[in-house]
Amino acid sequence: MAALQLEPLFTSSIFCKTFSTSNVTVEVAGNLIRVIWNEELSKQVNTAEEDLFIEVRKKKKLPILEKKVSHLLSTEFHLDADGPIQLRLIKKKRYQLHLSTSFHYTPKVVLISENERRHHLKWMDIDWEHIQREVEISSGLDWEKDIDIFLHVIRWPEPSTGLKEQEWLHTGLSNHATVLGALKEVSLIIAPKTDIEKTALPNHQITKSPNHQILKTLFRLVFKLPEVVRELAFLDFKIGPSFPFMELKREIWEGDTIQLRAWWNIPDECWKKVKKDLLAPKGLDWKDIDICIQLNQLEPHPILQSTNWLFTDIQDGSAYQAALIIRPKKESKKDLSPAVITSNIAGVPAKPDQIVLLPIDEGRIFTYWHLDRERLAKRLDALSGGDPGKVCTYIRVFHDWAGSLHHHMDVEVHPGFSDNWYLPTAPDRVYRVQLVAISDQGKIESLTDVSNPAQTIRVSPGNNPVSYKEVDLKIEHPTQLELKSVLGSAKHSIGLELLHLHAHLPYFRRRVVYGVSGIWQPMGFPEEWFHEAIRETYVPLILTFERLKSEGVDFRISMDISPTLTNMMRCPLLQEEFLKYIEAHISLARAETDRTGREAHRYHETAWMHLNRFLEVRDCFMRYNGDLTKALKKLQNEGYIEISTCGATHAFLPFFTAFPESVRGQIQTAVLDYRATFGRDPMGIWLPECAYVPGIENFLEEAGLHYFFTETHAVLHADSPAAFGTHAPAYLKGSNVAAFARDPETGRQVWSGEEGYPGDPDYLEFHIRGGPLKYNRITSRSSDYKEPYVREWALEKAAKHAQHFVESRNFRFQYIKNWFWKKPLVVAMYDAELFGHHWYEGTDFLYYLLKKLYYNQNETELITPSAYLARYPRNQEVFITPSSWGDKGTFDRWIYGSVSWMYKHSHEAIRELGAMASDLKTNRQDDQLAKRLVSQAAREVLQSMNSDIPFVISNGHFVDRMKEFFFEDLERFWILANLYRNGGDRPELTACRLQRLEMENPIFPEIDPCAFAR
């Protein structure tokens, strides 16, 4: 199909420009605005008394946006305005409260603002007997019969909330009230009952105010708006007008189909021009025409009031362009020229006929295929002589042995009805598959080439001879310094312990939605995961390590941090969001300390525990200017922790080895990002989900990585018996890369919900809260009945469990110390979020554990992977089996039927990215715009490879939201692919569209697009 060759009345445009002064920069991309200022401006704000604000005005009118930006160096927002805009950075005094009272002594009034629109007011120390006598004498009314007490609330006008500007709340002799809205003034008033009519509204809201005297005002609380102290910076910038815009983009669905969606925005001024230039000369009005959308030369469709249109059943291997056209109703086949607007050209690359094979476990493999329907029909028709009943199609399964293919079995399938299949297999075999058609005469037609290989899992140790090799890796890392301890464990130890924490979260760069009602509770949505992990795990871990340092305790921890997590830690938008999030929790906890003090005394100490923890977390976060990678980098440079990397976006690598450029891109991007974050090269890597298949080690070695972590059975079921079991790493044959296998006993002790420490009855209950915060202890694993949490009991248990853990390792080492010719190693691997998030006392356990290892024993010595390989360069070499640390140690969780469709879409994008990167590398190396386009396209493809999305869907959680994230990544990729292929004729529009996509998804500032070349 040829693209439309139309000269439209309008062309798509986006306004983008950067405006700068010496200390402020504003980047504009459409309606997305990013403001960056230098640190010197922030230092001029005394945050103990003042706040920093951004104020945006259109000309000299009232502000159209005002935003608090204290402790930040940048922010971004959407602004639906155009023309000249004025931006000011100003510092203001903090909100001030003015209390007035006619008492001879001042009552105690406490205001706790849960957020800007939900407030808890409490008043105490009021001498009600004296007040009663005073009011009865002055008014002549009976206190019990004629008088009542009300809270008079005056608010700043906010129509969006639905709250009245004035309201009377009946309080009686209560000493507290919850008040909603942006408050201007609150008064506690005594008035005659007859003057105020109550309604049945919540909180005894009053519809009528007193119609004569107020008997007494007990106190008045006036909320004084923050005063401007000084303007720190000023900048004039411009937002372009609302340009006409039309875009045609690929839309991803679950099935193996292609859809295109056109969307457009045509301002009213442009429609006026359409009427003037196209309709009026023909004597037409709007009622005489249809506005239609046309894709290439296909039949146009009237769009009515739509602003987007979906085209289905799109054929691959073609370029498409959409146009909005005017078609007179009386002459339905004759369009008015020119078109109103045309879209970009959207190319849909031809999909090859192919079959792809993915491993699952010891007894299954998964395959999917794509066959062009027209080509398939012609080939089957030629093979059958026009009689479809004479041809059957099969998946032909081969054993791949020593480079030769041996026919194993055929499985009949119908490519017209299915495009994937789960195949039964035998353990420890390498398989390949091919789609073939076989006629009744025995003639065979290959419908695809032979697939990539897939190896099934070995279920028992092999019988190859045990062999060793020595590798001089020349590894240098700060943690190789001798470990200090009171009893000299470095000199006297009989065993080594490698304690490793896996730190990862998927990259979600979105703001938390708090709503406008003023009522918000943490809900655990994906947008909150990062903030929740920072609050519950990563800051508490840093505080634990810093506490040990300050107490003179030497320790060694191994830790990997995924590049997605470090990018979120360094992301200014998420730093801004976390400050809002933790302030919301502090306010919530303050409100809870007040509520539990009145209503739930048994939870009161726990409420204070949460409040103090939140304050500690905020202080630590601000101490590192919101970037926690600085704290971790410092700990590594001081020799306390060794940080390894992870796959760039935590991709399940065994499902991508058919496309080597994608695995290489994952690993090399991770290494580049680690170098930019921590200022050194990583020594090793955590394979996402510990998922390994043979060949991955080659990509690791190419990237300069020396080790990775794996599941227990990966080494125990190697091709030869594991001479050390899991008590030493093993080199992978054919490489110098070592694999550290997980110790199962330490996993059960710490991680198991049934027999592990976190299930102790005295620990904080994770699931059943008892309020907006967690208040209960586990009490019983088999009952929903929960008792109040007692912090002292929990700390005592954490110390006891730490002692038990130490003694268990020492007993184990005593038992096996003479089995080997070198000190046995225990690799205790855990998800970092176990400590603090799933197990609140987990960081306390770590504190006591590391302290006891330092003070109380000398049989167990802490060590890191680099230190071990430097100390023991001689290790066994093996071929380990495919494995993961998922359920049953297999891959099935990531290839359930609910998610298996994802991989064909990711693989298709990877193929196109590889072609783009190869073209860039060969033909356009000096084209900076092309390099940025391929770099951003690589970011989107990397994110579509994220293993967390299929895992969460497989568990039945946030299914629609996870699919939305996946679809968005790939749809943005195809936009970028089209800009790369077809955007050269309008480079300014391409650059602006790219800038917007870069601002929206700025992950991996350091990325090499050529790493994805084929």
Residues contacting residue 908 through CB under 8 Å, at least 6 positions apart = 351
Q: What's residue 337's pLDDT?
A: 85
Q: Which stretches within 391-494 are classed as H helix? A: 489-492
Mean pLDDT across 34-53: 95
Mean pLDDT across 720-738: 97
Do residues 351 and 908 make contact, with C-beta atoms less than 8 angstroms apart? Answer: yes
Residues contacting residue 352 through CB under 8 Å, at least 6 positions apart = 370
Full set of structural domains in the chain with CATH: 31-94+229-239 (2.60.40), 97-225 (2.60.40), 245-348 (2.60.40), 354-455 (2.60.40.10), 468-889 (3.20.110.10), 895-1012 (1.20.1430.10)
Identify the band that residue 530 occupies on the pLDDT scale cut at 50, 70 and 90: very high
Q: What's residue 782's pLDDT?
A: 85
Q: Label each residue of 149-168 as H, E or C.
A: EEEEEEECCCHHHCCCCEEE
What is the per-residue pLDDT across 788-840, written as a single tens digit (0 to 9) for each?
A: 999 999 999 999 999 999 999 999 999 999 999 999 999 999 999 999 999 99
Q: What's residue 248's pLDDT?
A: 97
* Residue showing tokens 């050269």: 984
Identify the band that residue 332 occupies on the pLDDT scale cut at 50, 70 and 90: low
pLDDT at residue 473 above 90? no
Mean pLDDT across 454-471: 97
What is the per-residue pLDDT across 2-15, written as a single tens digit (0 to 9) for each?
A: 444 458 999 988 99
Q: What's residue 932's pLDDT?
A: 98
* Residue showing tokens 């690929």: 250
Mean pLDDT across 1001-1005: 97
pLDDT at residue 571 above 70? yes
Mean pLDDT across 41-69: 92
Name the average pLDDT for the chain.
Answer: 93
Identify the band that residue 194 occupies on the pLDDT scale cut at 50, 70 and 90: low
Closest residue by Cα to residue 932 from 1005, 843, 829? 1005
Identify the band that residue 385 occupies on the pLDDT scale cut at 50, 70 and 90: confident
Per the document, the length of the chain is 1014
For 892, counting Cβ atoms within 10 Å of its Cβ (0-12 exposed, 13-18 middle, 19+ buried), the class is middle
Mean pLDDT across 729-757: 93
Q: What's residue 102's pLDDT?
A: 83
C-alpha 742/C-alpha 829 separation (Å) is: 6
pLDDT at residue 117 above 70? yes
pLDDT at residue 647 above 60? yes
Q: What tokens does 440 get?
A: 């009744």
pLDDT at residue 203 above 80? no
pLDDT at residue 199 above 60? no
The CA–CA distances, whole Å, from 282 to 6, 7, 764, 791 equal: 20, 19, 77, 83
Give exposure, 205-244, as e/b (b: 16+ Cβ within 10 Å): ebeebbeeeebbebbbbebeebeebeebbebebebbebbb
C-alpha 935/C-alpha 165 separation (Å) is: 52
Do residues 937 and 913 make contact, with C-beta atoms less than 8 angstroms apart? Answer: yes
Q: What's residue 520's pLDDT?
A: 64
Mean pLDDT across 315-334: 89
Q: What's residue 196's pLDDT?
A: 54
C-alpha 878/C-alpha 1009 separation (Å) is: 34
* Lowest mean pLDDT, pick from 161-165, 277-281, 714-718, 794-798: 161-165
The listed range with the strongest mean pLDDT (41-50, 325-334, 667-676, 885-894) is 667-676
Q: What tokens does 302 get?
A: 């009237």
The CA–CA distances, whole Å, from 146 to 132, 190, 195, 196, 356 equal: 12, 11, 10, 11, 84
Asked, as a colleague might, if the bond just before 338 is cis with ω within 30 of 0, I would say yes
pLDDT at residue 443 above 50? yes
pTM: 0.94
- 3-state DSSP call for residue 38? coil
Mean pLDDT across 893-901: 95
Q: What's residue 104's pLDDT?
A: 74
Q: What tokens does 66 get?
A: 């005002």
Q: Label each residue of 230-293 as H, E or C.
A: EEEEEEEEEECCCCCEEEEEEECCCCCCCEEEEEEECCHHHHHHHHHHHHHHHCCCHHHEEEEE
C-alpha 262/C-alpha 276 separation (Å) is: 25
Catalytic residue check, 689: yes
Catalytic residue check, 673: no
Q: What tokens does 1008 get?
A: 């090499």
pLDDT at residue 471 above 90? yes
Which of the following is catalytic: 55, 148, 167, 689? 689
Identify the band that residue 517 occupies on the pLDDT scale cut at 50, 70 and 90: low
Q: What's residue 162's pLDDT?
A: 85
Q: What's residue 307's pLDDT?
A: 95
Helices 526-533 and 959-982: angle between axes, nearest 10 degrees = 100
Which of the following is catalytic: 831, 892, 919, 1006? 831
Q: What's residue 728's pLDDT?
A: 98
Sheet holding 147-155, edge to edge: 96-100, 216-224, 183-192, 147-155, 166-170, 205-206
pLDDT at residue 202 above 50? no
Mean pLDDT across 552-564: 98
Residues contacting residue 548 through CB under 8 Å, at least 6 positions apart = 555, 847, 850, 851
* Lowest mean pLDDT, pick from 10-14, 465-469, 714-718: 10-14
Higher per-residue pLDDT: 1008 or 304: 1008
C-alpha 134/C-alpha 137 separation (Å) is: 5
pLDDT at residue 221 above 70? yes
C-alpha 839/C-alpha 764 separation (Å) is: 7
Secondary structure (DSSP) of 805-820: HHHHHHHHHHHHTTTS
What is the per-residue pLDDT across 609-646, written as a single tens digit (0 to 9) for each?
A: 999 999 999 999 999 999 999 999 999 999 999 999 99
Mean pLDDT across 61-65: 88
Higher per-residue pLDDT: 913 or 130: 913
Mean pLDDT across 596-618: 96
Identify the band that residue 893 occupies on the pLDDT scale cut at 50, 70 and 90: very high
Identify the band that residue 863 occupies on the pLDDT scale cut at 50, 70 and 90: very high
CA dihedral 675, 681, 684, 685 (to 10 degrees): 10
C-alpha 761/C-alpha 740 separation (Å) is: 33
Percentage above 70 pLDDT, the chain: 96
Q: What's residue 515's pLDDT?
A: 66
